[in-house]
Amino acid sequence: MSLQPGSGSGSGSDSGSGSEKRKKSYDSEINLVDDTPLKKGRREELSSEIPSKEKLLEAIPEMKQRIWSECPDEQMDAMMHFTNLLGSIEPPRPIDEVIEAEVVPRFVQFLDMYDKPDLQFEAVWSLTNIASGKSHHTRVVVEHGAVPLLVKLLILSNNEDVIEQVVWAISNIAGESPKYRDLVLEEGVLLPLISLLGPPLPTMSMLLTTTWTLSNLVRGKPHVQFKQVEPLMPVLKTLIDMDNEEVLLNACSALYFLSNVSAGATQAIIEAEVCPKLVELLLYSSDSVSLLALQTLGNIAAGNDAQTQHVIDNQFLPPVRLLLFLTRERNEIIFRKACWAISNITAGNRTQIQAVIDAEIFPILVGFFCHHHADSDFDIKKEVVWAITNATRRGSADQIMDLADQGCAKPLSELLTHPNPEIVSICVEGLQKILMARISQQQRR
């Protein structure tokens, strides 16, 4: 978990010291927040007329000769042979055997044969499946010059089947690494991809493949340069309004990845006016979508006070309170991330801290401590003490005493003996703030 110093802009009595706003780095928890795969191979149910995988493998030397032929029929016959072989349902896919046959350069050559769209389609299909393999498999596709030809084909082809297959291949390449992601972007793939989304709307298959690809183009660390993908913002606003779980998953993934990129990207998300919809998606039927929306809003709340206030103004707190109720026993990941998001708000100014108090969220956090004593709950408890201590750092004496009256000293006291020195320090600081507020209150009487 990376720590990001708060950049609160409050002044006067709302100023405070040292509260910490923390963005979530997705590298260590990517499988927890995004069910979207980085790469996908394409399989097809093979008919009884297609030879077995063993016979297809035995025929590789012959098909190698045929694919390098100048005869169009032999080229197509051999290309379909490799497509069937690489699309085999029976694992593992024989990607290494195909690469060793030295036919990948020929597949790449076929991409430029615009008078033979059927041959292009088979070639792209095979390259898609090669790129879906391990890193060294994807590298073979890239090093043989496939990327610029795929982007060119995306722009120039009039064949919808070819275009969709190209999008799939590009996504597998971009999903391999930030290096290849950037390579694909530098070839100018983004605007042609965006154009596929209409108007008019594409087929559902094209829509799903394209939105998945867009999410891969903003994924990874080192982060993407926001300027390269800025045209995505209005597209994502449209996509998160669609009533399709997979589209929402892809769109929310992209917004989540972008919310990690930079302060400028965070501000662009705000200006795209997607926060109201993200708040609505907090209670979506899919936990994966809900979690991504929560993570994105939590990252926005980790920005400056104005950005935190934007999250609050879009009615973030009422559904988060409900989410805490609904997930405390059912989904500890969402519960923990909700606590983390609250900690970013309590790291804000006093008005924002008061908003959390008024939303009656602290009793839920304290209640978790009262009913959960297992060591396995530490990650959640850590976020709770962050939320409480952040509030004591910038809260007024009256607000801090309100927290004490709600039992917020108990969670801080419980973790004083924990072996993690950072957490102990946070707890000690929170307890000190409560004690000082109590003394201040007594002196005023």
Q: Are residues 215 and 84 in the same domain?
A: yes
Q: Are residues 324 and 307 in the same domain?
A: no
Q: Are residues 282 and 197 in the same domain?
A: no
Residue where one domain finishes, among candidates 222, 246, 280: 222
Please report, for residues 32, 260, 291, 396, the alpha-carbon distance to residue 333 in angstroms, rounded to integers and kept in the order given.
8, 19, 8, 31
- Using the predicted structure, report yes or no on whether residue 112 has a pLDDT greater than 80: yes
pLDDT value at residue 197: 96
pLDDT value at residue 52: 80
Residue where one domain finishes, among candidates 262, 285, 314: 314
Q: Within a domain: residue 2?
A: no
The domain tally of the chain equals 3
Q: Within a domain: residue 8?
A: no
Residue where one domain finishes, among candidates 161, 196, 222: 222
Where is pLDDT greater, at 363 or 35? Answer: 363
Q: Within a domain: residue 10?
A: no
Q: Within a domain: residue 292?
A: yes
Q: Are residues 279 and 326 in the same domain?
A: no
Q: Within a domain: residue 4?
A: no
pLDDT value at residue 4: 29
Nearest to 141 by CA among 78, 87, 188, 98: 98
Domain CATH for 379: 1.25.10.10
Q: Within a domain: residue 341?
A: yes
Nearest to 249 by CA among 80, 409, 33, 393: 33
Tell me the pLDDT tens digit for each residue of 299-357. Answer: 999 999 999 999 999 999 999 999 999 998 889 999 999 999 999 999 999 999 999 99
Q: Are residues 273 and 188 in the same domain?
A: no
pLDDT value at residue 40: 76
- Using the predicted structure, report yes or no on whether residue 374 has a pLDDT greater than 80: no
Q: Within a domain: residue 120?
A: yes
Provide the token pair at 256.
């989540």
Tell me the pLDDT tens digit for each residue of 25-68. Answer: 544 344 444 555 677 776 554 444 677 888 889 999 999 999 99
Q: Are residues 98 and 213 in the same domain?
A: yes
Nearest to 371 by CA among 427, 411, 430, 320: 411
Region 200-210: mean pLDDT is 95
**CB neighbours (10 Å) of residue 93?**
21
Q: Within a domain: residue 107?
A: yes
Q: Are residues 259 and 326 in the same domain?
A: no
% of the chain residues with pLDDT over 70: 90
Q: Are residues 34 and 175 in the same domain?
A: yes
pLDDT value at residue 24: 60
- Using the predicted structure, report yes or no on whether residue 23 has a pLDDT greater than 90: no
Provide the token pair at 427.
């707890």
- Using the predicted structure, report yes or no on whether residue 3 has a pLDDT greater than 70: no
- What's the domain range around 189? 25-222
pLDDT value at residue 46: 42
52 burial type by CB count under 10 A (0-12 exposed, 13-18 middle, 19+ buried): exposed
Report the length, in residues, of the chain.
445
Q: Are residues 323 and 419 in the same domain?
A: yes
Q: Are residues 30 and 170 in the same domain?
A: yes
Query: What is the rounded CA–CA span in Å between residue 195 and residue 59?
Result: 41
Q: Are residues 286 and 411 in the same domain?
A: no
Tell me the pLDDT tens digit for each residue of 249-292. Answer: 999 999 999 999 999 999 999 999 999 999 999 999 999 999 99
Q: Are residues 309 and 320 in the same domain?
A: no
Amino acid 59 reads: A
Tell me the pLDDT tens digit for each residue of 62-92. Answer: 999 999 999 999 999 999 999 999 987 677 8
